[in-house]
Amino acid sequence: MTEPSVFTRILNGEIPSEIIAETEHAFAIRDIAPQAPVHLLVIPKTQDYRNVAELAAGDPALLAELVGLASSLAAEHAEGDFRLVFNTGPDAGQTVFHVHAHVLAGGLPESSVG
């Protein structure tokens, strides 16, 4: 069985992190190491998909739910403009293999996320 990811452990309350928003199948937290004034992570509750390519192929409705949650969070936490980043694969800086979207707003990051 796959080990629970850090995000699953946050969702289960095993690692402290405030869940700032939640939908039926997704939740959002603040990134522990922010790369922009607003840096949130939008995460499916399931860890069945390691990256956005797998998610797009396996459950496009869940991908749309993530984007919808990201948009509403950007409206709430910033002026509505935002960057949505899915690091996909270790060579692209992905470190947690439980698909998640970085929501970045309030100023462009100085470097790429990861």
The whole-angstrom separation of Cα 32 and Cα 27 is 15
Query: Which CB sits closer to ligand 5GP, 17 or 72?
Result: 17
Is 100 in the active site?
yes
Strand pairing category for 101-105 and 38-44: antiparallel
35-54 residues near ligand 5GP, rule: CB under 6 A: 41
Interacting residues of 98 by C-beta distance below 8 A, sequence separation 6+: 5, 6, 7, 8, 43, 44, 47, 49, 50
The whole-angstrom separation of Cα 80 and Cα 90 is 30
Query: Which CB sits closer to ligand 5GP, 6 or 11?
Result: 6
Amino acid at the residue 44:
P
Is 60 a binding residue for ligand 5GP by CB under 6 A? The answer is: no
Structure tokens at 47: 């860890």
Is 90 a binding residue for ligand 5GP by CB under 6 A? The answer is: no
Is 56 a binding residue for ligand 5GP by CB under 6 A? The answer is: no
Among 61, 95, 108, 111, binds ligand 5GP (CB under 6 A): 95
Interface contacts to ligand 5GP, rule CB under 6 A: 6, 15, 17, 29-33, 41, 87, 93-96, 114
Looking at the annotation, which residues are catalytic? 100
